[in-house]
Amino acid sequence: MTRPTVARVDLRALQSNYRRIAEFLSREPRAAGAPAPRPIAVVKANAYGHGASQVARALEDAGADLLACADIEEGAQLRAAGVRAEILVFGALSVSSLDGLFDGRLTPTISTPGAARAVQTAAAKHRQQVAYHLKIDTGMNRLGFRFDNLRRTLPELLASPNLRLDAVYTHFATADDPASEWFERQRTRFITALAEIEALGATPRYRHAANSAAILRDSRVWFDRVRPGLLLYGIVPPPLASTIELTPVISLISRVVAVKGMRPGEVSSYGARFTAERPTTIAIVPAGYADGLDLRLAGRGAVLIRGRRAPTVGSVCMDMLIADVTGLDASPGDEVVIIGAQGEDRIDVREMASAIGSIPWEIVCRIGSRIERLYDAPVTQ
C-alpha cells in the first residue's frame, strides 16, 4: 500500500540536468588542448532527499564517472546498489572504521594529518595503494589542511608509501553571496596552495573547487572538475540565477482526506492559531512535520489544489496540515501539490524556503523517510 503523500522523482529530468550542466561547462573557452571540466555528481544525504541508490544509477547511465557522498556508510550503500563509478567520500575519516574504504573501493578525502596516518595504516594493512583527494582549508575553517601551513603539514602525507595524491580541492563558504569578499579571498588562497603543493613535488591529476553556486558565479574556479549538487536536482541556489535550462526533479504530492466548514470566530488545530474571520472551508492534507514539512509553513506557505493556491493555516501537525480552500469546491481525493506544478502554477523549493526563512537544501533533505519515492524510469545506456 502507498500512503497518500508521495514524492515523485523524475530520473529523466535528473539525467537531462546532468547533461545540460556538462554542456554548459563545455562552452567556456579553455586553453589550447585543455578539456572542459567534468562534473562530480554529488549524491550525499540520500541524494539531497531524492534517493541515493536510484539517483546514482541514473547519473551513471547519464555519463557520470565520479560521484561524491558524505561518508563511508553512504559509499557502501551505493556499492550495494550496484554503482560502478568511482565514489569520493567527502567527510572526515580519523574516527571512522576504514575497512569500508577497501571493501567498497572508495576514494577518501584526506583533510587532517590524523586522517592521513589512519588511512596509511589501513592501506598498509590491506597491502593496497590508495588514491586520495587532498582537501585544503582556504578559510572556511571546517575540514582541510590549512592553506598557510602546507610546507609543515604535507611532507609526511606526501611521503606515505601506500597513499597516492590524485586530486586537490577546497570548498567555498560564500559562493552564493555575491557581496561577500570571502569568495575571492578563498580563490586566491587556493591558487597559492596549489603552487605550494607543486613546489613540494606533488603532481595531482586534477583540481576542483566549485559547488553549484560557484559553477554559476565564476568560471575561473571550475579548474578540472566541478561539484554540482543542488543544480543536478533542478534547483538554482538563491539568490543566483542560471542560464542552464534545468528541470526540478522532485515533486511532493498528497490528497485531500477531508473537507469541512468553519463558522466565523471558530478556531482550528493546535494552539488555536487560526481563527476564521468569515465562513471558511478547510481541507485536511495527510502530510506534516513527521514528513519533513516545516512548522513555519503555517500561515506562510500554500499548496496547489484544483490548479489554485490554497494557503496553509493553523498549525502544521505531525501528520497533517490544513489548507484554506474557500471557493475552490475541493473534495476528498483531490490531488494536493506541496512541491511541484499543477495546472499553470508551480510551488518550487526556492519559494518554500524563502517563505519560512530557510534554504532549498534543507527543504529537500528533510523530506521524510516514510514518504515513498516513486521513480519515473531513467534513460539507460
Active-site positions read 44, 270
| Integer Rg of the chain from CA | 24
- For 218, the grid coordinates are 565564476
Closest of 194, 367, 379, 182 to residue 289, by C-alpha:
367
Q: Residue 201 corresponds to which cell in the numbers above? A: 613535488
Residue 44's SS3 state is helix
- Classify strands 250-255 and 6-10 as parallel, antiparallel or unpaired: antiparallel
Question: In sequence order, what are the residues at sequence separation of 6 or more whose Cβ sits closer than 8 angstroms to the Cβ of residue 179?
Answer: none
Of 263, 267, 261, 298, residue with least CA distance to 281 = 261
Task: Identify the H or E element spanning 340.
Answer: strand 335-342
Which secondary structure element, helix H or strand E, spans residue 11, and what is its range? helix 11-27
Dig out the grid coordinates for 154 from the structure: 604535507
d(CA 20, CA 102): 33
Distance, CA of 23 to CA of 38 (rounded, Å):
10
* Triad 346, 347, 350: Cα angle to 5°: 125
169 in helix, strand or coil?
strand
Q: Which of 178, 245, 177 is nearest to 22 (CA)?
A: 245
What is the rounded distance in angstroms from the CA atom of residue 335 to the CA atom of residue 293?
A: 17
The span from the CA of 253 to the CA of 286, in Å, is 10
